Structure formats: C-alpha cells, structure tokens
A and B are shown apart, each in its own frame.
Chain A
Amino acid sequence: GQQLNQSPQSMFIQEGEDVSMNCTSSSIFNTWLWYKQDPGEGPVLLIALYKAGELTSNGRLTAQFGITRKDSFLNISASIPSDVGIYFCAGQVNTDKLIFGTGTRLQVFP
C-alpha cells in the first residue's frame, strides 16, 4: 500500500529546542492529520488540517497544510521531555482511507 514520505526518520534534541518535521506525497490530499504515539499505545490525534494553506496551532504545536496539497509540516516549540514519542502524519483523499507516513521518532534529552 501507499505510504507518505516523512522526515526526518528520527531526531535527538535537547529540552527547550524547537522541532520541525514534514510529510510529502506524490498525490494530492484533502485532509492532513498529525498523530503522536507513545510506546505500546495507540496514536493520539494532535492536529487536523482541512484546507490548503491552513495553519493550525495546538499549544506548542503548529501544523500547516501545504499550498500544493502534497505536503504538511509540524513544528513543536520549546520541547519538553513528555514530547518524546513517534509522530505520524496521515493524508486522506476521499473519506474512507487514511494513508500514513512512516513516522518521526523524537527523543528529548534534559
């Protein structure tokens, strides 16, 4: 099945630093979603984007729906230890299937 290209694959940063990650696709999407997964748990929805160019924030998290509809970005400002986990992007064309990125593993050091 199709998967999105998500980068970077992993990040090791110090507490307080800002983080950026992105997803790209060869296909156009109508919806972009960003999830965070803690080890051994299910993904939790962070931000949902429904319109090209849309910029949405959720606390220290900001995500953008790329203007070409083929990419999306997630930024985390002033990282803290509980930001550790795997971040997944997901794109949706029609209303029945999500296509998931390969994940970005984030490690935050004190």
Chain B
Amino acid sequence: DGGITQSPKYLFRKEGQNVTLSCEQNLNHDAMYWYRQDPGQGLRLIYYSQIVNDFQKGDIAEGYSVSREKKESFPLTVTSAQKNPTAFYLCASSPGLAGGSDTQYFGPGTRLTVL
C-alpha cells in the first residue's frame, strides 16, 4: 500500500524533554512537509524539504528541528525550546518540481501532549 505513515498516533512527554515524531512515505515523492494544527485552527507550516539533505524553515520553525537524510523519511524533533508543544502534528508529501505536481498528501497525524 502506498502512502504516508506517522508514528506514534499519540505521544505524551514531560515538559523539558525533546521528542521526535516519525514520518515515512513510500510514494517516491521528492518534497515533504511538517505542519502544526491547534484546536479550531488551520494548518501552520513548520519546516519543509524539497530534496534530500536540504530543508527550509516554514512560518513557525522556532523550537523545532528536522533532518532529511533519506528521500522517504522526514523526522521532526520538538525541542524543549518550543514554548507550547502540545498540538496535532501533520506530515505531508508531494511529487515536487521533478514530479510535475505539487499537490500535497497528508499522513494521519500525531497528537503530542506535553505534561
């Protein structure tokens, strides 16, 4: 089955701890994205990557870090510097420029709760 997987579905962490959220895709997409969604709000872009070993900050990158060592993987680390980390985190991917389309497809999301 082709698609985007995020794990875990629910994650609980103590305040002050770093936590890494997983995102994997087997769609052979070049571009990957991380969004944050707060209750009753739209999606805000944290980081995105258009190609392996390269990524750019989105609108709310402070307190987050990413890596893109493999085409199919784009993990997001929520650091202790992020002031309000409790949120629903969504990963997305798109074929990218080389694929001729930039329509984004989303994973199922990870709900992070910091206690």
Contact = CB atoms under 8 A, between A and B. Distances in A.
Nearest to B109: A42
B111 A40 contact: yes
Chain A interface bracket (under 10, 10 to 19, 20 to 34, 35 or more)? 20 to 34
A103 to B, nearest CB: 6
A3 B107 contact: no
B44 A96 contact: no
B42 interface: yes
Contacts of B48: 96-97
A96 B103 CA distance: 10
B90 A43 contact: yes
Contact of A98 (B4, B41, B88, B104): B104
B102 interface: yes
A43 B42 CA distance: 11
B102 A42 contact: no
Interface in B4-50: 4, 6, 31, 40-45, 48, 50
Interface in B50-90: 50, 56, 58-60, 88, 90
26 contacts: A1-B60, A31-B102, A31-B103, A33-B104, A40-B88, A41-B108, A42-B4, A42-B6, A42-B90, A42-B92, A42-B108, A42-B109, A43-B43, A43-B90, A43-B106, A45-B103, A88-B43, A95-B97, A96-B48, A96-B56, A96-B102, A97-B58, A100-B44, A101-B42, A102-B42, A103-B40
